[in-house]
Amino acid sequence: MTKKEFQKICSEKIIYLDGATGSNLIRRGMPAGVCPESWILAHPHIMKELQTEYVEAGSHIVYAPTFTSNRIKLAEYGLDDQIEEINRALVAISRQAADGRAYVAGDLTMTGRQLAPMGTLTFEELIMVYKEQISYCVEAGVDLLVVETMMSLQECRAALIAAKEVCDLPVMVTMTFETDGRSLFGTDARTAAVVLESLGAAAIGANCSTGPDKMAEIIREMAEVTTIPLIAKPNAGLPSLAEDGSTVYDMDADTFGREMVQLVEAGASILGGCCGTAPDYIRELVINTKDLPVKVRERQERRYLSSERQTLSFGLEDSFIIVGERINPTGKKKLQAQLREGNLDMVLTFAQEQEACGAGVLDINMGMSGIDEKEMMLQVITEVPGVTSLPLAIDSSHVEVLEAALRQYPGRALINSISLEQVKFEKLLPLAQKYGAMFILLPLSDAGLPKTMEEKIEIIEKITARAYELGMKKEDIVVDGLVTTVGANPGAALETLETIRYCKERGLATICGLSNISFGLPERSFVNTAFLTMAIQSGLTMAIANPSQDLLVNSAFASDL
């Protein structure tokens, strides 16, 4: 099954998942503390019976019991050398239970080891762990993949990247959220939806952690920022301990089925149950929701950039955005000296100061001699999110630096930039698509600066056309107005303003490197500020600038007013 086929099915009717696995196996004899994979393989008839009951109750998709069958978790039981056989055998049980009446999803979750810097596991190591498990599930014949019960957005990203590099199967992703609406690692529902959709998830949503009533707001928040299918797989209410020490939930099957209606109304079209649910819960879920229509959500012309914990949403008519330019060693001798020593004090200070002064995005550029630019970029995009939640623009003239940063950045980044220069055009556009990034379109070619407005438009059209071929949308593109100094070209400002107007008429966001307009002139702040107010009136969306310049920032606020 392809992603497109999966999403088409989800648009036509409500899709039903299965319910809990672990709690039902415990009721059917699985002792606490055992390796669940080993116990299932020793009692395959019990697992098959449970999933057959789910299919008969109405489940369209059952989760293969590969939940913790990754190398790291299996190593806790000394079974990591049997990972291939275990995953293949577990998928086989589910395929027998489904018997062509339901799809089988290869199930993945967190490994239990923390990613650096909180733990010792590197991002690339985690991707390899997921790639290994996914490859065995795919070879065993799963129809799709599900990444579930995730507390870390970055670990969701690792699993999605791994899946992309192994197969073309659709991937569903569900995270768990605390009572404050954020995951354990601080990600809110909107940000999770933005990042996971941009990275290629076929469906996204929430599972576990709460009952249906508390999950409705999570689904509503996701529905505001995405049009892909939404998943709701809540628990059977709240847990408590019974007299015998077992965990019980306060919601019976009838109540669960009725409560799930509100999740369809909130926007979910893929429904199931998590902890405490059983086949009768799925049966009641189907009875209560089968006649409800799938809620159609129209895509709004909004753009989204995000860090791991915060999303920036903007449209062409919204307030002007400053992309803070100061985290760039060019012309900053003290910063250069610190970077050569591996000291990020000034970088972190600049990040905090620019946020305090009103920046909406931070540009990160580590291009200088005497350091390993890629390693320094990776270090900076790891450390900066510790002091600010602003999304980042990744700025480098080297393709390998941009790819390494895009791969590791735990949000939705802005690439600065992609031109028609052959190397960048051919390599960076596919990277933007793969990692779900927005990008700045720089209207340059191998011939250099365009000599006329017509040539500039031609470059813009060629790059956007290729981006659309790769599956990107106009909301993924920010066109650079290509500012040059009026000191050398008296028509430079007018040409840039014309470019901004041209792009806005076509629904494209715009940006410019503001200070270029006054290069070589006296009283530069006045020139920059006057040009900015004219550019905002022409439709400029954002500019790369220093947000600590009061005249500039206040003039931008006044222009918006």
Reported as a single tens digit per residue, the pLDDT across 160-218 is 999 999 999 999 999 999 999 999 999 999 999 999 999 999 999 999 989 999 999 99
Tens-place pLDDT, residues 70-106: 999 999 999 999 999 999 999 999 999 999 999 999 9
Tens-place pLDDT, residues 219-228: 999 999 999 9
Q: What is the rounded distance in angstroms from the CA atom of residue 157 to the CA atom of residue 115?
A: 12
Length in residues, the chain: 561
Q: Where does 341-469 have alpha helices with state H? A: 345-356, 373-383, 399-408, 422-435, 453-469
Looking at residues 463-475, what average pLDDT do you find? 97
- Structure-derived torsion over alpha carbons of residues 7, 153, 199, 309, reported in degrees to the nearest 10: 110
Tens-place pLDDT, residues 308-321: 999 999 999 999 99
Tens-place pLDDT, residues 375-394: 999 999 999 999 999 999 99
Q: What is the rounded distance in angstroms from the CA atom of residue 9 to the CA atom of residue 232?
A: 17
First-to-last alpha carbon distance for the chain, in angstroms, is 51
pLDDT reported for residue 422: 94
Does residue 460 have a pLDDT over 90?
yes
Does residue 347 have a pLDDT over 80?
yes
Nearest Cα residue to 228 out of 319, 308, 288, 160: 160
Would you call 243 exposed, middle or buried from its count of C-beta atoms within 10 A (0-12, 13-18, 19+)?
Answer: exposed
Q: Is 209 left (phi over 0), alpha (psi -120 to 50) or beta?
A: left
Does residue 305 have a pLDDT over 90?
yes
Which H or E run includes 513?
A: strand 509-513
- 3-state SS class at 299: coil
pLDDT reported for residue 368: 97
What phi and psi, each to the nearest 5 degrees, are found at residue 25? -65, -35
- 3-state SS class at 392: strand
Looking at residues 339-344, what average pLDDT do you find? 97
pLDDT reported for residue 117: 86
